[in-house]
Amino acid sequence: ELKVEQNPLFLSMQEGKNYTIYCNYSTTSDRLYWYRQDPGKSLESLFVLLSNGAVKQEGRLMASLDTKARLSTLHITAAVHDLSATYFCAVVGLSNTGNQFYFGTGTSLTVIP
């Protein structure tokens, strides 16, 4: 079974600072997703990473993928309060019943003014 681990689970950071969230997964996959979830809301897709070395950027968020290390990072640059949310990574893996999404535990980010 594919395992997906995120760290940290909780992150409190000051506005203007930089930080990185890590997502490790245990077996081969050819795609990785990052989602954002605001309190009381559903998950919203942020990035899809499809190949080794892929990098996607949207505003103050940048995601990268290293398939050899089975690692993805979500880098936050000059954090602002609006980025406060829970961030999930998810990997598509092959199970005995076909393709399945495997989610990390999530990183709850709080940006403090």
Using CA atoms in the order 40, 21, 79, 36, what is the torsion angle rounded to 10 degrees? Answer: -30
Q: Does residue 30 interact with another protein by CB under 8 A?
A: yes
How many CB atoms lie under 10 A from the CB of residue 50?
11
Q: How far is the CB of 46 from another protein (least distance, A)?
A: 9
Binding to another protein by residue 19, rule CB under 8 A? no
Pick out residues in 44-73 that bind another protein (CB under 8 A).
44-45, 48, 50
Q: Is 26 helix (H, G, I), strand (E, B) or coil?
A: coil
Under 8 Å between Cβ of 4 and 90: yes
Binding positions for another protein, rule: CB under 8 A: 1, 6, 9, 30-31, 33, 35, 41-45, 48, 50, 88, 90, 92, 94, 97-101, 103-106
